[in-house]
Amino acid sequence: MNSSTVPLVIKNYRHFDVIHCHDLNTLPIGVAIKLFFNKKVKVVYDAHEYETETVYLKGVERILAKAFERISIRKVDAVITVSESIASAYRKLYNIKKPFLVKNYPYYCKVQKKR
């Protein structure tokens, strides 16, 4: 979300049925809308990676991200991850129901060489 979309979100938040938060950086606005403006909205957290363990988070920033994720993940209605190992880690770390798994890679199949 960029600064030009924020006014549109604020104007229309009451009409949302679902807010799909892709990654940790979009989770704050989704949770804030649910908590303060639209209690009926369903929030989905779609963690495309093991968010707090990525290389771009270091030091205090990582500590704050982990704390925010721990608090926020309990406020969402569903969690989606891309692998069984990440789903298991989130379930154990945050004591939540097992996240839904949506793989974002193709299944391996051997391609026959054309004769």
Per-domain residue ranges for the chain? 6-101
Of the candidates 105, 71, 68, which has an alpha carbon nearest to the alpha carbon of residue 86? Answer: 105
CATH code linked to domain 6-101: 3.40.50.2000
pLDDT of residue 12: 73
Could you say which residues of the chain have pLDDT below 70? Answer: 1-3, 5-6, 10
Q: What percent of the chain has pLDDT above 90?
A: 44
Q: At what angle do helices 59-72 and 27-36 cross, to 10 degrees?
A: 40
Model pTM score: 0.79
Distance CA(69)–CA(51), nearest Å, equals 9
Distance CA(53)–CA(59), nearest Å, equals 11
Output the CA torsion sign for 54, 56, 57, 58: positive
